[in-house]
Structure 1
Amino acid sequence: MVDAITASWHGNNYQSRVFWQNALNLLDDTACVVEVTFEANGPKAFDDVVVKYDPPVPRSGPDRIHADYHQVKYHVDRGGHFGYQDFIDPAFIGAASFSLLERLRDAQATAPAPSLFTFLTTYRVLPTDPLATLISGNDHTLLLERLFDGTTDRSKMGKIRKCWREHLGLADDEALRMVLRGFRVIDGHRSLDELRSEINLKAKVVGLLTCNAADSDFRYDELARQLKSRRLNAFTREALLTLARDEGLLAEVRPADPYLPIAIRSFLGPASDLTGALPGNTLLLTDAFRQRYLEDSQSWQSDIRPRVEAFLAVAAKQSRKLCLTLDAHASIAFLAGSVLNVKSGVDVHLIQKGRVGARMWRADDGSTGARFAERMSPQGTGRDIAVLMSAAQDVEPQVRQYISSHALDIGTLLSFSFESGPGQQSITGGEHATALAEQVANAIRRSKVEDPNAIVHVFASVPNAMLFFFGQQHQAVAPCIIYEFDFDRRGNKSYQPSFLMD
């Protein structure tokens, strides 16, 4: 069991890493960050890390944001959950008198508007709590249009409004709406090791020294505490550069990276600014999605696909060496691979994010691992083929249910899984992912010998980088349909078809 002293150390390190995660953006010309403060002088409870922007930056609402005030809550275990009623309990944030909502109300009264007030925690929202349906998958703000839905206090949303309104002593819902504007909840935030990896990657991008993964300590942790003790806790770009020179943190100047950073983002997350891709080299598709769900007015085939293909075609003309970040749906990763296929002449490195942070995956990075166990089973009399890839999660139960309920014309199931079972780190890197993608493509090719026009239905729980490499093999797979799964369980809780690739 982790003792109290160790837990306190971890909590301090966690807060310092959230600070560095934001402070390094001061050296990123695309981030618009002009000041980052560690343990600021207010507003109380949202002063752990304060980030200021100039010019103001857009988020999901109509207003541009001038500042983001963070409360950071670290827990040594990741098993805890919370719901909307915890926001009125002072003990939830380790306080004796004032709740999180009361602190939010007071912060709104003192901070310049419009601002964000971020509650960042390693605990997760209880999936069965109504709060789970109110957090935006785009930027983690509360979905106020869903909370203030015009229903009475007896409704599901009305009970939340009534609970919060009465706790704050507010006269009506409009007063509550004003308190909640800009409030966002980032739950299940990254582990200490993940933050360490992301800070190392960001430091490398902006020209600072990184820390060796073999080292027990992490220099940036202690540095943050020493700076606070010296009352050097607020940094501008110039101040951070001066600090980096004084502390010997500036990396040796090396020849420019020949790989052009580009990014495709269909959703935004806390680490969506890690790669240094300029705005002109970033395709933002978030306008076509509500959280992670395609807007009703949008089509995967006629709206999303042309935008992705056109963006990648332009990028390939700019450089034959690309470093691609995919903060995007699995289908978009496959589509990107089909455009930048092995015959395109473009050398692609991929930024793969996971439990151990962001890493570079290449088709020749030397990574190795187990091959898939293949299993072919008859499904019916149809001519189509269902391909199931279960690397991170076992997809077979949901796929069989989907095929049955939608009466797909499937005759054969090709299942690919590991003998050891699924796991988030079962695929070790780019070369391992490439080998697995080729294995799956070759198996499909063999299955289609007698009927090359059979449609392949792809259901996959694998890293986006593997889907990219699999997309590079699309000529062996097509015609095919790629499916998206509702992992957030806020939509149909099943699969939906996206692109038809021919």
Structure 2
Amino acid sequence: MAGSVSALIKGFTFQKLIFWIEASKIFDTKRNIKSVAFETADNKSFDDVKIEYEPEIVGDSNTPYVTKDYYQVKFHTTISTQFTIDDLMNPKFIGATRYSLLQKLKSAVTAGDRKSRYNFLTSWDIAPNDLLHKIVDENGAVKLDKLFDGKEKSAIGKKRKQIMNHLELSDEEELREIIKLLRIKRAKDYHLTYEEFNVYLKAAKLRTIDSSHHENPYSPLYDRMVEFKKTVFTKDSLQAILLQNNLFEDMPSPDSKWYESVFQLLSKLELMIENDMSVYPTSIYPGSNGKPKHFYVQTTDYIDIYNKIEQKMAFPFPHYLYKESETLKSICTKLCAYMLTGPSVSKAIGDLYIEFHQLLNYIKAELTGKKQIM
């Protein structure tokens, strides 16, 4: 434990590390991960990291089927301290002033669904002689048969009563429904050294961290995502960001069918815009307030076609064309807006049309060059 925590990767907070470990798993299709997120808005009690599954995954006896995993991460700078079941009822244990971990759990379960797990991840260990140690299994779940032993005067029974009073519950079944969704996990259950963290990155085919130079691109990337309020990611959106930052180690080469399908979509987009340009701005009709009638049918399709191109290119898409693809999307969006405005923006449309063709030709040339090398 001491070795792992002391070797915590430079530049990472505990929360960043857990996010990237969990986020790397989104590329494993067997895990059924729909999205990963941090600082989630839907659950303020356990909001550090969130994993959503679709379809739901198989859980354990406490939660047979799971739709979401929420994480509350607490990294203590000291590593020798242990915690007890009483600490779960003490707000100071999690650095709070008002609500304890169990009170936050109650709030989270009340606001959420009964197929979510609420994971408390801490760098401290459970005190081996404490009751908590006896009722938490190796996966962090509470042993319900141990906590609800049917006895009122036993040590467990008295502690159960104390917890119910703390949570202002009158029915043990209410406590059971809340506590069965809790998971208590320790830092040593995760791998915190450079070498061990790289195992997760390699599995996702991401660039590993160079421990000799302490190069860690994932920490500043996390900070930029916070700055731009990008905190929820699907597989495709996370891929796009990682591609933009050149963080994939070895991208697989697309086959010839992939190139042909992309070329067909690019050509279709080009033809649509050329057709619209050929009649602009002659298709003005009475009562249109100067807006071309023809484009009400056509221009909304630009983005639809681009989205299909983007879906094709999303993975494996060469990172060297990521910026160009983003610019192409921006041009399509502007063309949609300008063509519906009327003749007053004809010069702007003409300039965009020229830029569109130059960019399109560049992308085609780059893709053609790569295709010929195959």
Bin for the TM-score computed over the shorter chain: 0.5 to 0.7
Equivalent-residue separation in structure 2 for 1:133 and 1:10 (angstroms): 35
Aligned to 2:227: 229
Aligned to 1:133: 134
TM-score, with length taken from structure 2: 0.62
Quote how far apart the aligned CAs of 1:225 are.
1.7
The structure with higher relative contact order (CA 8 Å, sep 6+) is: 2
Quote how far apart the aligned CAs of 1:190 are.
5.2
More strand by share: 1
Question: Structure 1 residues 120, 161: closer, same or farther in 2, change over 3 A?
Answer: same
User: Mapping of 1:23-34 within 5 angstroms?
Assistant: 23-34=23-34
Quote how far apart the aligned CAs of 1:12 are.
5.7
CA deviation profile, 1:281-338 (whole Å, cap 9, x unmatched):
xxxxxxxxxxxxxxxxxxxxxxxxxxxxxxxxxxxxxxxxxxxxxxxxxxxxxxxxxx
Equivalent-residue separation in structure 2 for 1:223 and 1:243 (angstroms): 9
Question: Structure 1 residues 36, 219: closer, same or farther in 2, change over 3 A?
Answer: same
Secondary structure of 1:57's match? Answer: strand
Counterpart of 1:63, as a letter, is P
Aligned to 1:79: 80
Secondary structure of 1:223's match? Answer: helix
Aligned to 2:175: 176
More helix by share: 2
Aligned to 2:146: 146
Q: Does 2:168 align with 1:164?
A: no
Counterpart of 1:215, as a letter, is H
Counterpart of 1:237, as a letter, is K
Equivalent-residue separation in structure 2 for 1:224 and 1:60 (angstroms): 32
Quote how far apart the aligned CAs of 1:192 are.
7.4
Q: Contact between 1:124 and 1:187, CA under 8 Å: does it hold in 2?
A: yes
Q: Does 2:30 align with 1:40?
A: no
User: Mapping of 1:247-396 within 5 angstroms?
Assistant: 247-253=245-251
Quote how far apart the aligned CAs of 1:193 are.
3.6
User: Mapping of 1:381-460 within 5 angstroms?
Assistant: none
Quote how far apart the aligned CAs of 1:244 are.
1.3
Equivalent-residue separation in structure 1 for 2:123 and 2:176 (angstroms): 26
Q: Contact between 2:10 and 2:214, CA under 8 Å: does it hold in 1?
A: no
Equivalent-residue separation in structure 2 for 1:11 and 1:88 (angstroms): 32
Equivalent-residue separation in structure 2 for 1:49 and 1:127 (angstroms): 28
Q: Contact between 1:78 and 1:188, CA under 8 Å: does it hold in 2?
A: no
Question: Structure 1 residues 10, 84: closer, same or farther in 2, change over 3 A?
Answer: farther
Quote how far apart the aligned CAs of 1:252 are.
2.4
Quote how far apart the aligned CAs of 1:253 are.
3.8
Secondary structure of 2:66's match? Answer: strand
Equivalent-residue separation in structure 2 for 1:112 and 1:173 (angstroms): 19
Equivalent-residue separation in structure 2 for 1:43 and 1:103 (angstroms): 10
Question: Structure 1 residues 193, 184: closer, same or farther in 2, change over 3 A?
Answer: closer
Equivalent-residue separation in structure 2 for 1:116 and 1:16 (angstroms): 20
- Unpaired runs of 5+ residues, structure 1, are 1-8, 256-502
Counterpart of 2:126, as a letter, is V
Counterpart of 1:234, as a letter, is V
Question: Structure 1 residues 55, 143: closer, same or farther in 2, change over 3 A?
Answer: same
Secondary structure of 2:177's match? Answer: helix
Which 4+ residue blocks in structure 1 deviate beyond 2 angstroms? 9-12, 187-194, 196-199, 252-255
Secondary structure of 2:229's match? Answer: coil
Secondary structure of 1:35's match? Answer: strand
User: Mapping of 1:88-127 within 5 angstroms?
Assistant: 88-127=89-128
Aligned to 1:399: none
Aligned to 2:244: 246
Q: Does 2:7 align with 1:14?
A: no
Quote how far apart the aligned CAs of 1:11 are.
9.3
Question: Structure 1 residues 75, 10: closer, same or farther in 2, change over 3 A?
Answer: farther
CA deviation profile, 1:337-375 (whole Å, cap 9, x unmatched):
xxxxxxxxxxxxxxxxxxxxxxxxxxxxxxxxxxxxxxx
Secondary structure of 2:238's match? Answer: helix
Question: Structure 1 residues 11, 128: closer, same or farther in 2, change over 3 A?
Answer: farther
Quote how far apart the aligned CAs of 1:212 are.
1.0
Question: Structure 1 residues 191, 32: closer, same or farther in 2, change over 3 A?
Answer: closer
Q: Contact between 1:120 and 1:189, CA under 8 Å: does it hold in 2?
A: no
Question: Structure 1 residues 103, 59: closer, same or farther in 2, change over 3 A?
Answer: same
Aligned to 1:209: 207
Q: Contact between 2:56 and 2:67, CA under 8 Å: does it hold in 1?
A: yes
Aligned to 1:67: 68
Aligned to 2:269: none
Secondary structure of 1:189's match? Answer: helix
Quote how far apart the aligned CAs of 1:210 are.
1.1
Aligned residues, how many? 246
Equivalent-residue separation in structure 2 for 1:111 and 1:200 (angstroms): 34
Aligned to 1:218: 216
Q: Contact between 1:80 and 1:123, CA under 8 Å: does it hold in 2?
A: yes
Question: Structure 1 residues 191, 116: closer, same or farther in 2, change over 3 A?
Answer: closer
Aligned to 1:500: none
Equivalent-residue separation in structure 2 for 1:72 and 1:228 (angstroms): 17
RMSD: 2.3
Quote how far apart the aligned CAs of 1:133 are.
0.9
Equivalent-residue separation in structure 2 for 1:219 and 1:144 (angstroms): 43
Secondary structure of 2:86's match? Answer: helix
Q: Percent identity?
A: 29
Equivalent-residue separation in structure 1 for 2:45 and 2:91 (angstroms): 11
